[in-house]
């Protein structure tokens, strides 16, 4: 039998524990107990610690968590649990979370109110084969079950509590949790431990330990750590030096880049001024005023602001067709918008006009969208430029033209960009559709290509409605 009595420094000594004490204590970092488990409890029993140390050597990634609770129940409490059809909180609560490599072994010692066991039989699935092995005598009530909410948590509810009971449960852990690895050469050790044969268990554990490489691995680890300690510190210092010097290089490059940027800006400003001096203002103004798509001209500070009304005429119809093949999208899922885009862009019965506000900064040689506050709202917003400041393939030509002072070419490129709709860009399409939905449908923003008559989105909506009614009437006649 194993030594009995509460473990102290002078009693219940375990020669295995004394021999491997340092190693076992190091291994306890993966063997935890609940905060309410007293320090003098079974948990520090040396034979149990030694056995758990052996199991942890075969399961290096596994953590064993232990709970120990004493509890009692009055008849009134038991009746309440029956009426509410609940497992008592004292049993179901856990201090530790479980996980793939965390096994919780929770011992619940019931000291009064044994009727709770009958109630548990209606709530849990008792592992009867384990319970029978662990049962100490006929009067011993015990239920062993896996927590349904935590598949890695084992619950042992018992009317008795002893080291022998705990040893039996620990000896059965690999049967309860098949993922716990126990090699064939370690199985006889577990069997002797569960049977309470201290002499056999001690002999077998010693033999296993002597044949293992645990001590050799530990010595190798500690020796390597000792030898590398000095060089590791030196490597840390060298890495910090490299980091510091790289920081100095980055600061120097940043200063150099800022200086280069300032020189470039001065050259660009000088070049722009030279171009401006050679350009007649009345010539550009006349061009802008006569341009059919430029409706408003403003100059604020050094910025030329243009309001452009242009037709959406540059697009790829093949990029629109997938919206009709798959109905689960922003166009295909809407009966009206399917009709609208088909009539306007696929059949080209109508031309849609869009509004764009842009600014040209001649000195800085940039063109970009202007604030929405300049929009009048007679036409839907151009989605690419007004929402995403995207100029498409025109961007490079605009930048080059501004750099060379080719202002007429720049304006034509800007107007060209306002007429583009990229159906393949789903983000822009969502913005475009949102602009159309929020636009005032009563305003006439389209032209019927055949009659040249101005019409509104509401007019097209009515046509869609009439067509649907016509189709419905034809279907009724066919019936």
Residue range 165-222, pLDDT digits in tens? 888 888 888 888 888 888 888 889 988 888 888 888 888 888 888 888 776 776 777 6
Q: Whats the size of the chain, residue-wise?
A: 479
- pLDDT band for position 13 (cuts 50, 70, 90): very low
- pLDDT band for position 339 (cuts 50, 70, 90): very high
pLDDT reading at 349 higher than 90: yes
- pLDDT band for position 278 (cuts 50, 70, 90): low
- pLDDT band for position 451 (cuts 50, 70, 90): very high
pLDDT of residue 355: 93
pLDDT reading at 33 higher than 80: no
Please compute the mean of the pLDDT values over residues 128-137 and round it to a whole number. Answer: 87
Tokens found for residue 265 = 């800006």
Residue range 139-167, pLDDT digits in tens? 899 988 887 777 888 888 998 888 788 88
Residue range 415-426, pLDDT digits in tens? 999 999 999 888
Cα gap 21→412, rounded to integer Å: 87
Cα dihedral: 398, 401, 407, 411 (round 10): -20
Does residue 313 sit in helix, strand or coil?
Answer: coil
Top-confidence residue, 56 or 338: 338
CA distances from 121 to 75, 81, 115, 143 (A): 17, 13, 10, 8
Name which of 41-45, 51-55, 85-89, 242-246 the model is least confident about: 41-45
Neighbouring CB atoms inside 10 A of 33's CB total 20
Can you give the pTM of this predicted structure? 0.43
Domain positions in the chain are 15-212, 229-278, 281-478
Q: At what angle do helices 198-211 and 187-195 cross, to 10 degrees?
A: 160
To the nearest whole number, what is the mean pLDDT of the chain? Answer: 79
Please compute the mean of the pLDDT values over residues 227-244 and round it to a whole number. Answer: 76
Name which of 23-37, 236-250, 375-389 the model is least confident about: 23-37
Q: Which residues contact 142 (CB under 8 A, 6 or more apart)?
A: 131, 134, 135, 156, 157, 158, 159, 160, 165
pLDDT of residue 362: 66
CA distances from 204 to 2, 42, 211, 265 (A): 14, 22, 11, 84
pLDDT of residue 436: 93
- pLDDT band for position 29 (cuts 50, 70, 90): very low
Cα gap 204→54, rounded to integer Å: 12
- For the stretch 89-94, contacts whose Cβ atoms lie closer than 8 Å and that sit 24 or more positions apart, written own/partner, are 91/120, 91/155, 91/157, 92/147, 92/149, 94/67, 94/147, 94/150, 94/153
Please compute the mean of the pLDDT values over residues 363-371 and round it to a whole number. Answer: 66
């Amino acid at each position: 039998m194993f030594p009995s009595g509460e473990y102290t420094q002078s009693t219940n000594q375990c020669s295995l524990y004394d021999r491997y004490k340092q190693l076992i204590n190091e291994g306890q970092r993966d063997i935890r107990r609940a905060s309410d488990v007293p320090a003098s409890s079974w948990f520090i029993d040396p034979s149990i610690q030694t056995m758990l140390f052996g199991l942890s050597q075969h399961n290096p990634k596994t953590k064993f968590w232990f709970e120990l609770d004493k509890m009692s129940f009055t008849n009134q409490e038991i009746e309440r649990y029956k009426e509410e059809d609940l497992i008592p909180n004292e049993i179901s609560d856990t201090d530790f979370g479980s996980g793939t490599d965390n096994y919780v072994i929770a011992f619940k010692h019931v000291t009064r109110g044994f009727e709770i066991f009958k109630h548990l039989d209606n709530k849990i699935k008792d592992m009867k084969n384990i319970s029978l092995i662990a049962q100490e005598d006929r009067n011993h009530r015990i239920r062993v079950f896996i927590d349904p909410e935590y598949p890695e948590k084992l619950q042992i509810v018992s009317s008795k509590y002893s080291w022998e009971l705990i040893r039996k449960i620990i000896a059965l852990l690999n049967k309860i949790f098949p993922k716990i690895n126990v090699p064939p050469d370690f199985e006889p050790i577990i069997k002797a431990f569960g049977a309470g044969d201290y002499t056999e268990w001690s002999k077998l554990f010693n033999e296993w330990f002597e044949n293992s490489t645990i001590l050799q691995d530990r010595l190798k680890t500690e020796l390597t750590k000792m030898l590398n300690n000095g060089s590791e510190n030196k490597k840390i210092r060298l890495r910090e030096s490299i980091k510091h010097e790289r920081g100095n290089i980055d600061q120097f490059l940043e200063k150099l880049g800022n200086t280069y940027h300032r020189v470039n800006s001065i050259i660009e400003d000088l070049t722009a001024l030279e171009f401006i001096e050679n350009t007649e203002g009345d010539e550009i103004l006349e061009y802008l005023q006569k341009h059919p798509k430029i409706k408003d001209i403003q100059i604020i500070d050094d910025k030329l602001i243009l309001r452009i009304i242009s037709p959406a005429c540059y697009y790829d119809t093949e990029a629109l067709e997938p919206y009709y093949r798959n109905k689960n999208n922003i166009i295909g899922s809407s009966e009206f918008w399917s009709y609208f885009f088909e009539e306007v862009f696929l059949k080209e019965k109508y031309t849609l006009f869009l509004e764009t506000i842009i600014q040209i900064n001649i000195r800085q040689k940039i063109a970009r969208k202007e604030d929405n506050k300049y929009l009048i709202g007679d036409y839907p917003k151009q989605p690419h430029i007004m929402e995403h400041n995207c100029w498409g393939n025109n961007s490079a030509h605009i930048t080059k033209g501004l750099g060379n002072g080719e202002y007429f070419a720049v304006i034509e490129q800007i107007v060209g960009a306002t007429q583009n709709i990229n159906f393949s860009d789903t983000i822009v399409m969502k913005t475009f559709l949102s602009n159309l939905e929020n636009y005032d449908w009563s305003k006439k923003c389209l032209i019927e290509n055949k009659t040249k008559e101005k019409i509104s989105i509401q007019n097209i909506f009515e046509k869609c409605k009439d067509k649907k009614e016509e189709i419905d009437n034809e279907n009724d006649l066919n019936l």
